[in-house]
Structures are given as structure tokens and as C-alpha cells.
Chains A and B, each alone.
Chain A
Amino acid sequence: MQLDSLYQEIILDHYRTPHHAGLADPYDVEVHHVNPSCGDEVTLRVELDGDTVKGVTHDSVGCSISQAATSVMSDLVIGKPVSEGMATYEKFLELMQGRGNVEPDEEVLEDGVAFAGVAQFPARVKCALLGWSAWRDATAQALATQGAANEGVKNA
């Protein structure tokens, strides 16, 4: 149980100065996710441009791990195709569930590699995934709305 491996300087930096914090307009979908077991909460907005993530902003209360993970997640998905963001999530999830046995891919996860140590603290994994779950939910809703709108255009 190495504290320094959990609380890497990168994580503490993101915690102190979270990127894309503060809810911004315009946006397509806003979601509010909570971690019922501990009370962490995140409100997150997503704006898509076609199938590209144009913007993600968030407002959250929570621990250093959840706040920093949401900050890093925003950096990782903004400007990327949704499919690439979802693939990055899968990589991050694999790292979190790897109990410390997964070698993180810095090319894909960038600052996210700093969370490798979290995998050794099973109670904290859900903290690192809160922002991701909010982003995936908001994005899925935005895509569904887009799809419905397109259907509407076709049907018109």
C-alpha cells in the first residue's frame, strides 16, 4: 500500500486545478451521477459535433481521485471521435480492474497512467470511474437524441 503510488503528483495537480471544470454552454446533454456508497457527485455536460466530442465540462464534489479522474477524462475525450473516447474508457477500465497487473499504455491514456496505483486500492476504483460513467451516459444520450433527430429529418 504505497501512498505515493496512489497519490501521484499528476493526480494531485489535476485535483488542485481540474481541467474543464465549471459547467459551460452550449451543451447537448447534462447528467448528474452519484456514487451512492460515498456520496461523491458529478454534474457533467457533453456537446457533440456529429460523432466528435466537441466539449465536456463538469462540476463535481468528491475526493482527489474522482475529481482528478474527471479532469483527466475530459482532456482525453475532448476533440476525439466518440468511438475513440469509448475505446480509451475500455483501456482505463482494464487498468482499474487490473489489480496492478496491467501495464498502462501512455500513448492512449496520457495522464491517465497516473491512476495505475488506484487499482491497488479496490475501495477507490469506483472514485476513478465516476466521471467516466457520467461522460459515457451523457454521450450515449446525446447520440440517441442525434439519431432521433436524424430519423425525424428522414421521415419529414
Chain B
Amino acid sequence: MTTTRTFSSPLDLQSVRADFPILSRELAGGFPLVYLDSANSSQKPRQVVQAIEDHYLQHNANVARAMHQLGAEATAAYEGGRDKVAAFIGAPNRDEIVFTKNASEALNLAAHTLGAALKPGDVVVVSEMEHHSNIVPWQLACERTGATLKWFGVTEDGRLDLSNIEELLTENTKVVALTWVSNALGTINPITEIATKAHAVGATVVVDASQAVPQFPVDVSTLGADILVFTGHKVVGPTGIGVLWGRYELLAELPPFLGGGEMIEVVRMTGSTYAPPPARFEAGTPPIAQAVGLGAAVDYLSGIGMDKVAAHEHAIVEYALEGLKTVPGLTLLGPTDAKDHGGAISFALDGVHPHDVSTVLDTRGIAVRAGHHCARPVHERFGMQSSTRASFYLYTTPEEIDALVDGLGFVRSFFKVD
């Protein structure tokens, strides 16, 4: 049932895919891997793995506190990762980049430190389409402080419902924490427009860019966010490292998050003073090799060009939406056109539970995600308990989309829902 549709990408897919050995794997039954789960975790190019290997095999030591030659090399490598990440997202100042364990820890850092100033009567605003990691830390902050959590709803077509923005953004609103690109719906939200209104009432704007930074060029100097977070493993980098960017003036006035080595200035038994950012927020031995790997990852993406990555994602999403619309009984969750649509598409298939969809696809080598994708509220919004999600990246080919569409036809025939 594969149809010939037009597809045009600025990327040389064959040469991109040659950098990712895993994409050539054959899975059980002789099926080639069709990896459509990059919003969950992206694959890694050889260049990233080699940078990590070289670090561990030639330069490994602890950072900052190690006073020997290897310590200096490791420190330079770690701080070099910070420079690269700062440049990649347009941060005006390298000290605005804080390395964390992942995006969840970065959001918890934001919720703890901004939450320290919250009091009863204050309002924190999130949205119904957030990942759990941009809901739960704020719920906890509100429980600790007596502040109130409110949220933007989601429209029937999967966009942020801004119709009551005037009610949500008042002088009591202290924090607005929003996802830039929904991991479940794929929706791209108008961050700058909302940030302008949030700033007008004096609120701090936190942006979860976990699905944005991998997909299109990001410039924090013009975005309007005060804090932005993302994770390394979704930008072809390693697991174990996340990034929090914050305006320096804001970071400088925030209290510490985790206490420990490296985040201090002077420790006395009677009390301590704290280091300036970013060290204030990086207690303990940081993810050193991961920072090296992340640096190599953003170098890799910059080498290809994030504008080209974005154009490719758009082309693939457009192609996939067309293909999925040909599958009988398939309902798309979220926007059904490619405009302002990130590289993840969730859907329901009549009569077949998402787990069963994903298991059957898996036996044909097709890796998708099934479940609520850590975004249960938005599934509830659409009366669904879970969905199947296909997500794409710079190495995704139109042939892989065809394999998905064919695979869904097979799922339907296997479960006899024809």
C-alpha cells in the first residue's frame, strides 16, 4: 500500500546515516532497524562516541580540584563542552550554562530555586500538554509554599488554548513554565508571544526545550525565556547530562539547589557562602565525559546545520502525516498539519491498544513508543489512556515512514480490525 509521495530534504541522508552505525543493524527475523523513537532518545553518531572514548582513554581525571596535568585537561574538556553548548543555543555568556543530570533535574532545579520565593497567593502557570517533569516539580513547589498551580488548556486541534491568558497571567503570576514543543502532540508553542505577556506581569518564564533544541535553531538571546532546559541524549549526545540555561542576572540571585563540593565559596561549621553561577548549581563531580560528548554532539549538529535539520524534520513530518492519514481507523492526536508541528506524531488505531501496536511493529524491526509518553494529562484531555508515537530525527528516511505505514496495515490485519 506504499504510495509514491513527494519528499525533498536538504540533507544527504545516506551520508548522515553512515555516521550512525546502529541504524544499519538488522533485528530479529532479518528486519532492518526502523528507529522511530528519537523523541524518546536519539541515536549517537560515531563522532560523539569517539569523543567520549578519547576523553576516558586519554584525558580522564576529575575537574577543577585536580591540580595535575590530566586535571587541567579534563577541566578544559568539561568547560569546553560548556562553551560549545553556550554557542549552540546563542547564550550571551558561558556562565549561563549549568550542567545537570538531565532535563528533569534542570526543571527541578528551576522549581526549587524559583520556588524558594513563592508564597501563598502566588500563582505558577503550566500547561495541560506538559511532560510530567514540567508538572510535578511545580506541584511540589506549590505544595511546599502554598502557591497555586494553574494551567493553559489544550484546544481540540492540539494547540495551546490561550483564550484565558488574561486570567492566567496576573500580577500574582510569578512563574510561567511551558514546553516549547510537546513531546506527545508535536505542537510547537508560541513562546516569545507568551513570554512577552508573562514579563508584562513580572513573571519568570521557564521553557522546557527538550524537544525543541534537537529539532531547530535556538537563540536564547531573542527567545524571551528566562530559563530554558534540555537534555543531552535527545541531541545525539550521551545520557547523564542535561542543560539549564538562565539569564545571568537571574541565576546570580537564585539560591543553591543541591549542596556539596564545588558549589561553595567558603564552608564554616556555622554556615557557608556559595559560588557564583554556574558552579553554584553544580554540586559534586559533574558529568565530565558527558559534557565532552555533548560538546561533540552540538558540534556535529552545527556541522550539518540546524536549519537543515529543521527543514528535514518538517519534510518528514509532512510526509508522515500524509502517510498516516491513509491508514483506516487511525486518529491523530494533536495538530494534523505540519505547520508548527515538531518531529513527533502520536495516534490511536481503532480496536488495537498502543502496546499491541508497538509489539507487532517491533517484530518487524520498527521501534515506536506506546503509552502516555510521560504526558498523561494531555491524553486524558483527549479521552485517551495512551497512544502510539512515532518520532523522527535528522537520519529518518521516507522509506522508514513507508515501513511504518505498511506496518500499521499489518497490525490491522493481524488483529482483524479490517
Contacts and interface: CB of A to CB of B under 8 A. Distances in A.
B370 interface: yes
B80 interface: no
Nearest to B351: A16
A7 B379 CA distance: 26
A124 B355 contact: yes
A60 to B, nearest CB: 10
B355 A127 contact: yes
A64 interface: yes
Interface residues of A, number: 20
B360 interface: yes
A38 B385 CA distance: 9
A65 interface: yes
A129 interface: no
Contacts of B17: none
A121 B363 CA distance: 10
A119 to B, nearest CB: 14
Contacts of B363: 1, 3
Interface string B162-192: 0000000000000000000000000000000
B121 interface: no
Interface string B1-43: 0000000000000000000000000001100000000000000
A39 interface: yes
A47 interface: no
B353 A64 contact: yes
Contacts, number: 47
A63 interface: yes
A55 B351 CA distance: 29
B386 interface: yes
Contacts of A64: 353, 355-356
B247 interface: no
A46 interface: no
Secondary structure of the A contact surface, majority rule: mixed
Contacts of A121: 359
B362 interface: yes
A3 B386 contact: no
A81 interface: no
A7 B371 contact: no
Nearest to B354: A63
Contacts of B362: 1
Range of interface residues on chain B? Answer: 10 to 19
B414 interface: yes
Contacts of A6: 359
B29 A38 contact: no
Contacts of B370: 38
Nearest to B379: A39
A30 interface: no
B381 to A, nearest CB: 14
A65 B414 contact: no
A61 interface: yes
Given A38-B355, A40-B385, A62-B353, 10 more contacts: A3-B359, A3-B360, A3-B414, A37-B371, A39-B376, A39-B385, A63-B355, A64-B353, A64-B355, A66-B355
Interface of A: 1, 3, 6-7, 12, 37-41, 61-66, 121, 123-124, 127
What are the nearest 7 A-B pairs in CB distance? A63-B355, A63-B353, A38-B371, A39-B372, A39-B386, A1-B28, A61-B385
25 contacts: A1-B29, A3-B414, A7-B356, A7-B414, A37-B371, A38-B370, A38-B372, A38-B386, A39-B371, A39-B376, A40-B385, A61-B385, A62-B355, A62-B385, A63-B353, A63-B356, A64-B353, A64-B355, A64-B356, A65-B355, A65-B356, A66-B355, A121-B359, A123-B359, A124-B359
